């Protein structure tokens, strides 16, 4: 399951909805790290993630008065952040980077052996195409369904499924075909669609 989000107590929410700047700062303190992590993982760029963090909380401050509790507050904040990330990814320079994403493979170590697993995994994640990275993060970490991801991206659930499969195929190659933790080391080539 994805990491649980902090709970927001109703008194703090009420203060924030009345424009209390201290309450806004407290909300920022509760959710900033999860929003920044989400943006950094989705965009693979610290400056872009900072832009998203900034834009997200400017919007949270301005729209907190309209929050009616239909979804958990943390999900509401994260949904704003995800939309901001997707807006960044729609810009064409990012789209071009997307198409070039696979080329990064050659500049990465072919096997994760000898490198700290988390660093190797972070590198591999960053090396995925933008779309594949977004889908794998939203599905495997944030827990969104393929239907939700498809709608957020203006596509279909099938699109999300195929991108997730592509992401895992790439991750396997980028991680040298080895499991992230201890386990069998042989490559499992028969699962490739091309076999």
Partner 1 sequence: MHPSTEDLLSVRDGEPLDAGTSNVIADDATLEREIERMRQVRHALRQLPELPPADDMWQRIVAVERETRPRSNARWLAGAGIAAAVALLAIFVISSPPRPTGGIAPRAIPAGDGLTTRAIAEPPSTVVGAETSAETLFDRDRLLVGGRIVPVSYPALVQESARLDRALRRLPYQRPMMSAETATTIAGLEDRIALIDEQITYSNARGVPQPQRVALWGERVDLMNALVHVRYAQAQP
User: Among 141, 138, 140, which residue's Cα sits nearest to residue 130?
Assistant: 138
Terminal-residue alpha carbon distance, the chain: 32
CB of 102 to partner 1, least distance (A): 16
Q: Considering only residues 83, 141, 151, 176, which one is a binding residue for partner 1 as defined by CB under 8 A?
A: 141
Q: What angle do CA 130, 42, 49 make, to 5 degrees?
A: 120
Tell me whether residue 70 or residue 141 sits nearer to partner 1 (CB atom).
141
Q: How far is CA 76 from CA 55, 86, 136, in A?
A: 14, 16, 20
Q: Considering only residues 5, 13, 30, 61, which one is a binding residue for partner 1 as defined by CB under 8 A?
A: 61
Stretch (H or E) spanning 28: helix 21-43
Q: Considering only residues 5, 13, 30, 36, which one is a binding residue for partner 1 as defined by CB under 8 A?
A: 36
Residue 64 tokens read as 């907190």
Q: Count other Cβ atoms within 10 Å, centred on residue 82.
A: 26
Sole residue written with tokens 């994640």: 125
**Residues in 98-117 at the binding interface with partner 1, rule: CB under 8 A:** 117
Q: Considering only residues 30, 37, 79, 176, which one is a binding residue for partner 1 as defined by CB under 8 A?
A: 37
CB of 71 to partner 1, least distance (A): 21
Chain residues that interact with partner 1, rule: CB under 8 A: 2-3, 21, 25, 28, 32-34, 36-37, 40-41, 47, 49-50, 53-54, 57-58, 61-62, 87, 90-93, 95-96, 117-118, 121-122, 125, 136-137, 140-141, 154, 161-162, 164-166, 168-169, 171-172, 175, 179-181, 183-184, 186, 188, 190-193, 195
């Amino acid at each position: 399951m994805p990491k649980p989000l902090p709970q927001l107590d109703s008194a703090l929410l009420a203060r924030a909805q009345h424009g209390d700047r201290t309450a806004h700062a407290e909300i920022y303190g509760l959710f900033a790290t999860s929003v920044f992590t989400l943006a950094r993982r989705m965009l693979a760029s610290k400056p872009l993630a900072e832009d998203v963090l900034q834009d997200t909380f400017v919007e949270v401050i301005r729209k907190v008065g309209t929050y009616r509790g239909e979804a958990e507050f943390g999900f509401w904040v994260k949904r704003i952040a995800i939309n901001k990330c997707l807006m960044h990814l729609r810009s064409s320079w990012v789209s071009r980077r997307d198409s070039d994403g696979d080329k990064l493979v050659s500049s990465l170590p072919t096997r994760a052996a000898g490198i700290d697993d988390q660093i190797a995994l972070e590198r591999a994640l960053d090396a995925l195409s933008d779309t594949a990275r977004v889908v794998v993060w939203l599905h495997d970490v944030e827990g969104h369904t393929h239907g939700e991801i498809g709608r957020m991206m203006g596509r279909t659930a099938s699109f999300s499924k195929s991108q997730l499969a592509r992401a895992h195929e790439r991750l396997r190659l980028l991680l040298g075909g080895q499991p992230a933790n201890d386990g069998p080391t042989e490559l499992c080539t028969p699962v490739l669609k091309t076999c």
